[in-house]
Structure 1
Amino acid sequence: MTARQLLPDANIYNVLISGLCKKHMLPAARNLLAEMLEQNVHPDKFVYTTLIDGFIRNESLDEARKVFEFMEQKGVRLDVVGYNAMIKGYCQFGMLDEAIVCMNNMRKVRCIPDEFTYSTLITGYVKQGNMGGALRLLCEMTKRRCQPNVVTYSSLINGYCKLGDTDTAEDIFANMQLEGLFPNVITYTILIGSLFKKDKAMKAAAYFEHMLINCCAPSDITLHCLVTGLTNCMACIVSSNCSGTVKMHDKGALLDIFRGLVNGKWDPRNAAYNAIIFGLCRHNMLGNALDIINKMANKGYSPDSVTFIALLYGFCSVGKSRDWRSILPNDFQPDQLQIASRYMILFDQYVAKSVGCEVSSALQLYLEECGSLKQMEHKFKCS
């Protein structure tokens, strides 16, 4: 462009600066701003916001503040996105007083704080363990008719869970849904992990069930909380003396399947993974269940015959019972499957009767094929 004497405008510089910030090339981004000024191309609020956000994301608060102050000197008025980026930076570094001043300055220039502004500040107070400050901001937020969002509620839930007050966290979770907001994977993970730490395995399992019913797939962190929680609470789960009154689901598959496998002398961590996989499969989340197989292998836990049966329920639930051969390990032995098939009575309690029948048919077909193969091998050896 410059070789053809086509000078970049503010929009082009903004795109370049944004790309450099994402690549953590902050000195180059700063140089582009200087070049803009030398070329008499006036940076707009988007350029400044991009730079402020880029420096914040790269934990360079001082540089972000310099850009913010320079922008004010030039008379460029930021919008709510720019102010939110600066407030996020202050909160990220625990500078709550500066963040509040920044929000007050927003109002002076008639820039109205939005739900992201308040949620960021509430999260900042929660990180410092100041739930009083977080609740004051929540009250101010609602008084100004700014509706709390999922991030707001998740931050408050996280705050109370850190204090060990899971009862209040659950109340906030319930209120959130009354407001018509759907919990996300972060909300569920916070509660599940905290409840397991409080030895409330039944409640933790109930929230996992609630999560799957709402088609919310678990993240890697959720899986870690579930597997660690189940294995750490194994004695409690096996003896069925888990504390806590379950509000949402009196009975769920997770604990029953885990308990049944552990009582059958299966490895507790493999049992935890298999219980989670079955939970996903019975809620038609087969793709997510298959993803866990790779994650199991990365953590040193190999899929076993129970894993195969759990996945078979998933294939049958989504109408792909004929595809079961694709999940058979190379070293799979029919006798292993016969041992694991004893748990089908337990699994069948949690799926539609038609699915259970389809699983039985697919399993019978596999065993028949294995029997035919063994006969052929025997004839070949004899000959």
Structure 2
Amino acid sequence: NKGQDDIRWYGATKVGDTAYQVTIQAKNHQFETGHYSVHVYGKSQLEGNRTIGLATTAGFNVTSVKVANPSVQVTNHNPSQGTLDVVVSESADTKAIKTVKVAVWSESNQSNLYWYETSTVVNGKATIAVNQINHKGIVGNYTIHVYTTTQDNQESGYNAGTYRLESKTLQTLPAYFIDISSHNGNITVEEFNRLKQQGIVGVVVKLTEGTSYINPFAKAQIANAQAAGIKVSAYHYSHYTSASEAQAEAQYFVRAAKNHGLSSATVMVNDMEESKMLSNINSNVQAWQDEMKRLGYGNVVHYTMASWLDIRGGQVSTSQFGIRNFWIAHYVNGYTYLDQASAKAYAYYNNAAAWQYTSVSKKLTNNLDENIDYTGRFTI
């Protein structure tokens, strides 16, 4: 009923010497009723295997269709870890999913409400990971509401029930971490222990840059931090300006992570600072993120300056990637040191994953970047 907006090419199956058959699914045509046109084409062996028209049939009429709701399930519920997954699945009788949003909260006034969103649908299934860290670490019974939008922009809502999340460690947030590269050289176990005594419980180590550079100090920096009991994450300094380059850089980053023994659960950071990246940046970042997830390293965070974000007039879409997946650099004191207590009091960008509040920390001999962790991803 809308012209060829739902045109679909089907490959027929040979069922006899002179017969072919195909099954047409209403799902592939948005379950529309009305008259359907059917044209038949084939490859001509007499004309160089060229595709030619064979028949324009009378088509068929559809007067009613069966449309079911998608399956909404909560899986991998781990109360002590404060995590669970919400899985929304299509079937042959459901419309194709475009996006899924999930609202989760435990407080009666919804003060710890957090919205999750994904447009990634793989084999008809969308999965959203819920984590207590996104809800101020509060122990409680969490209500889960799921909202789906189909490809024809029809919206539906579902109550997925109430589940308890009770991780106690998350209540220690916010916490503090540093990020380091080859510029920081070798940091000994003793120095990491000294940092830990000063409230630093996480470190993000630069592994790679582009597709040709590996931090020569990374192996020792990772080992010494782990020996001191400091949580290790990793970052990649990005240069990509196209989807293919983004995928190549993601592959290079993951290979280095595996070579350094970093598991797939490691927080993997996309460091975006090169101005040449701004052209078509959101689609390229999406390509990088999708490739990271395809390679099994899906715990990704995007680091950049506040001015690059759409919430500060920039081009990077916080809604597309989720503000909770951004680590934001903004030095309110410029190049004058801001201490941890003051950073906690300011609480800038506390709806994000983390805030880099200074680059001139003197906790070791050379200047260090210092950061506040709002979600526990870098420190717990």
Structure showing the higher strand proportion among its residues: 2
The normalised TM-score by structure 2 is: 0.23
**More helix per residue:** 1
**Given the two structures, how large is their TM-score scaled by the length of structure 1?**
0.23
Higher relative contact order (CA 8 A, sep 6+): 2
